[in-house]
Structure 1
Amino acid sequence: MNTTDIADTTVGENYNSYYNYDFPEPCTKEGIKAFGQLFLPPIYSLVFLFGLLGNSMVVVVLFKYKRLRSMTDVYLLNLAISDLLFVFSLPFWGYYAADQWVFGLSLCKIISWVYLVGFYSGIFFITLMSIDRYLAIVHAVFSLRARTVTYGIITSVATWSVAVFVSLPGLIFSTCYTENNHTYCKAKYSFNATQWKVLTSLEINILGLVIPLGIMLFCYSMIIRTLQHCKNEKRNKAVRMIFAVVVLFLGFWTPYNVVLFLETLVQLEVLQHCTFERYLDHAMQATETLAFVHCCLNPVIYFFLGQKFRKYIVQLFKSCRGVFVLCQSCRLFQMYSADTPCSSAHHTPSSSYTQSTVDHDLHDAL
């Protein structure tokens, strides 16, 4: 966890003059911890509350109404669980940012590991959902055989296994220790510390941004290309959802990965300037917190851009009479009739079959 790993540095005022060496004084960062104490706890609390509420509603809807009847439902469930796993670690990090680590060594290792598992699995399942949409729309006939609940469960188990494996360094190397009357919880390497820090940063950049973004851009560019044949509002809704997913992913994760890459250059001593390092530490706190917010946004995307999901949310509120009475006058929950599927006056039997399959998957996604 980067935002809480920044320790204050105290330096003797007469260090250089006493030893008569012409070395630069170590970079002091006294204000960074104070900035984190003020800025991070309330943000973490809000992310925790909204992430818990939104993703819990997704889980309830999937079990109560959709009953996991498709690969998409399986991936949505796992994505919500990933986000929940991630937000469950935030109260611990919030308290840590405000004060110090008081939860002991075991929880330090477990929470660090849970945080990383939620981080990686969430991004992996967003990527899998991109592939799922790609198969459903671009390879509609093939997807009838490939996009089953069984394959969804198998790929989900494999994805969780990969997320657990790549998160093991967080479990192994995370430790708590006391320094200058302050207890820390962070990764501490007994050998090759610089190499491990660089490898960890590169792992997050490659597995957390470069590979997922490449897959998403390919899948969604092919989807948009296929949807050019569908000239109605349903196509426009699908394109809007695609645009929202990609833009939000880029907007919330790219700044964090860029700062992490710059921090890697600092670790390698490619960049060495005290003022720059101070700005970089502040940027790490801000961009990592911005990335945390992304786990709250998936339910929002599904609600505002997904017609079927919005319908289920309304039904869920209707089943809770007290809540629905407060919301029934809100125009946000008004339902609209389904759009007419895109069609053409002339289709061969195979193209008609493919087109109807695309329409069905568009309707299911929306």
Structure 2
Amino acid sequence: MTFTSGAAPTTMGYQLYSLYEDNYDDSPEPCIKDEVRRFSSWFLPTFYSLVFLLGLAGNTLVLLVLFKYKRLRTMTDIYLFNLALSDLLFVFALPFWSYFVADEWVFGDGLCKVISWIYRIGFYSGIFFIMLMSIDRYLAVVHVVFALKARTVSYGTLASLIVWLVAIAASFPELIFSKSVSKYNHTACKSIYHSTEWKLFVSLETNILGLLMPFIVMLFCYTQIVKNLMHCRNEKKKKAVKMIFAVMIVFFVFWIPYNILLLLQYFVDVGIISGCSISKNLDYADQVTQTLAFFHCCLNPVIYFFMGQKFKKYIKLFFKNCILTKRLCKPCGLPETIYSESSSSFRTQSTSEEEAL
């Protein structure tokens, strides 16, 4: 996920590149960052690999369960499916960045553009689908009658298509400006802007689309949902309130520090903040907050599934029916009979309760 001029691909490429050396107009010598580079060469690849493995496993499991049991029959299913795809796009780029940090960019100019673009698309689309799911829950709980007409698979598919188009369009600066460049005997994938205006545009775009707009939408939706649910004494509704707070807290705790850091990095880029020691401290902070933010894509399956009632049932059925599980159980003498639950038993709740929990 990417953010502020020079964040992720844009920023990620620039930040990784800047770990080697920076120049300041008011300084007679360049700012050497060997200690920062040594720290990043083991810290970032380690955590990138962890996020890649967890994100790949968790979101792949989400897709398998959706296909096998949910069959994409509701608007929420459509959004969950696309959110998992967004997270997979995001983690797909991490092995490339991991190798870049550990050594240098060896994949050429073409892959630099494509990986940066895919990476940014995964970021934007993931944020947008989280917003759509917030709106979906808001309609299901607060406007139940209207939701019966509006929350259909057709509208969910149309909204998802619009989100992908917007994410692709918003990510085009990565495709245009990302380049493989060599300096100080080191090759990097970074964004080369033609003007300060473009750098400012990318910075504002990232912070508005990636933080401000999601914050406003989620705050409104979940505030209204909580107000509605607080009048109910239903135990299931209380669980919905807990999940709602988990969604909000996890999203903002994991992302806000990184966005603030990238805004500070932009101030360094344009010369508002300067100094070698400040730049080094921001590089360290960037690596820590970036890792924290990236873990969010691993938590989406936990937030949207494992805290729900039905996914626990689906996941048990999935592993019980897994061919590998059956083969492993044969030597143990365990019966292969699977006590699957009928689909009708999953439809006993109202639409609003089912999608809100």
Q: TM-score range by the shorter chain?
A: 0.7 to 0.9
Corresponding position: 1:75 with 2:87: no
Give the whole-Å Cα distance in 1 for the aligned partners of 2:201 and 2:303: 33
Corresponding position: 1:98 with 2:102: yes
Task: State TM-score, norm by structure 1.
Answer: 0.84
Corresponding position: 1:48 with 2:52: yes
Q: How does 1:4-43 map to 2 (within 5 A)?
A: 4-9=16-21, 24-43=28-47
90-99 vs 199-208, which moves further: 199-208
Q: 2:157 aligns to what?
A: 153
Give the whole-Å Cα distance in 2 for the aligned partners of 1:284 and 1:10: 16
Q: 1:343 aligns to what?
A: none
Give the whole-Å Cα distance in 2 for the aligned partners of 1:38 and 1:188: 26
Q: Are the equivalent residues in 1 in contact too, given 2:140–2:356 (CA < 8 A)?
A: no
Determine helix, strand or coil for the equivalent of 2:31: coil
Q: Are the equivalent residues in 1 in contact too, given 2:22–2:31 (CA < 8 A)?
A: no
Q: Are the equivalent residues in 1 in contact too, given 2:250–2:296 (CA < 8 A)?
A: yes
Two-structure CA RMSD over aligned residues (Å)? 2.1
Q: Are the equivalent residues in 2 in contact too, given 1:47–1:296 (CA < 8 A)?
A: yes
Q: Are the equivalent residues in 2 in contact too, given 1:79–1:125 (CA < 8 A)?
A: yes
Q: 2:192 aligns to what?
A: 188
Q: 1:86 aligns to what?
A: 90
Q: Are the equivalent residues in 2 in contact too, given 1:71–1:147 (CA < 8 A)?
A: yes
Q: How does 1:1-366 map to 2 (within 5 A)?
A: 1=9, 2=12, 3-9=15-21, 24-189=28-193, 191-192=194-195, 194-320=196-322, 322-323=324-325, 359-366=350-357
Change (3 A) 1:280 1:358: farther
Percent of paired sites with the same residue: 56
Q: Residue 10 of structure 1: CA displacement?
A: 7.9
244-253 vs 174-183, which moves further: 174-183
Q: Are the equivalent residues in 2 in contact too, given 1:6–1:33 (CA < 8 A)?
A: no
Give the whole-Å Cα distance in 1 for the aligned partners of 2:116 and 2:185: 22
Segments of 5+ residues of structure 2 without an aligned counterpart are 1-8, 330-347
Change (3 A) 1:197 1:28: farther
Determine helix, strand or coil for the equivalent of 2:179: strand
Larger radius of gyration: 1
**CA deviation profile, 1:124-176 (whole Å, cap 9, x unmatched):** 00011000100111111001111110000111010000000010000111010
28-37 vs 310-319, which moves further: 28-37
Q: Residue 201 of structure 1: CA displacement?
A: 2.0
Task: State TM-score, norm by structure 2.
Answer: 0.86
Aligned partner letter, 1:361: S
Change (3 A) 1:151 1:26: same
Q: 1:330 aligns to what?
A: none
**CA deviation profile, 1:70-117 (whole Å, cap 9, x unmatched):** 111000000000000111111111111100011111111100000000
Segments of 5+ residues of structure 1 without an aligned counterpart are 12-20, 327-356
Determine helix, strand or coil for the equivalent of 1:271: coil
Q: Are the equivalent residues in 2 in contact too, given 1:308–1:364 (CA < 8 A)?
A: no
Q: Are the equivalent residues in 2 in contact too, given 1:120–1:163 (CA < 8 A)?
A: yes
Change (3 A) 1:96 1:231: same
Aligned partner letter, 1:202: L
